[in-house]
Structure 1
Amino acid sequence: MNSHDLSTKLVPGDLFLEIQQFYSLQLKILDRGDGEQWAQTFTPEGVFQAADMPEPLVGREILVKAIERQSALHEGLILRHWVGQLTVEQLDDVTVRAQSYVMVYVTPDRTLLNGEVHFRHHTLCDDELVRSNGSWLVRKRFVETDGAYK
């Protein structure tokens, strides 16, 4: 199945809202730069792969280190992620596939009255999520950037 397959069976509204809330929480954690807590939103052997990465990041320890590196690169800036056009497909009783577009914005670490907000990039995020102990976790994430702020 590809991302444009219109025959996809979508999930009921209550499950969709659960997934939407999961993303909202996960991105708030990411925007704070809290690598430890963000990595906990992945399974212990969770995979993060971006189209421009030579190798996937596998496991929570590696994910924490990646967020620490990214936070150091963005010191003095605030990143904000916005998720839109979320589509969720139920694969089995504990697994869903979620696709969304995510826009990333950056602003200086000061009030919006004194700083400028810039569009950084736009991505397509393709996730496999699993339910574990009543929560959702990312098992696999693939991110493809289709534009970049220079």
Structure 2
Amino acid sequence: MNSHDLSTKLVPSDLYLEIQQFYALQLKILDRGDGEQWARTFTPDGVFQAADMPAPLVGREILVKAIELQTGKHEGLVLRHWVGQLTVEQIDDDTVRAQSYVMVYVTPNRTLLSGEVHFRHHTLCDDELVRSNGSWFVRNRFVETDGEYK
């Protein structure tokens, strides 16, 4: 089934809200630059891959290192992520496929009231999420960025 198939079954509203809350928490952690906490939102063998990456990142330890590297590249900048157009398809009781568009904004300092906020890039995020012990985790994430991003 492709992402534009209108016959995708809707999930119950309480499940949809759980997934929204999961993303809100995950992005709050990411925007703080807390690589260890962000990596813990993935399964221990979780996979992150972007269309422009030569190979996927696999496992929490590798994800922490990747976030630390990205945080270093953005020294002095604050990144903010906005998730929209979230769709959730239930695979089974403890697995969903979630797709969303994510816009990334950047501001030049830690005070959003001074300095200019700029649009950085736009992505399509395709996730397989699994529930374990009442919490959701990313098992697989594939990100495709619109336009050229470096």
Shared fold, TM over 0.5: yes
Moved over 2 A (4+): 110-114, 147-150
Match status 1:106 vs 2:100: no
* d(CA) in 2 for partners of 1:42, 1:149: 24
Deviations 1:60-96 (A, max 9, x none): 0000000000000001000000000000000011100
TM-score relative to the length of structure 2 = 0.97
TM-score (norm 1): 0.97
* 1-structure distance, mates of 2:89, 2:10: 5
Contact 1:84 1:102 in 2 (8 A): yes
Q: CA deviation at 1:148?
A: 4.9
| Cα shift readout 1:113-140 (whole Å, capped 9, x = no counterpart) | 4311000000000000000110000000
The equivalent residue for 2:77 is: 77
Structure 1 residues not aligned, in runs of 5+: none
CA distance in 2, matches of 1:110, 1:91: 40
What fraction of aligned residue pairs are identical, expressed as a percent?
A: 88
Q: How many residues align?
A: 150
- 1:34 aligns to what? 34
CA contact (8 A) 1:35 1:64 kept: yes
Q: CA RMSD in A?
A: 1.2
In structure 2, distance between residues paired with 1:114 and 1:39: 31
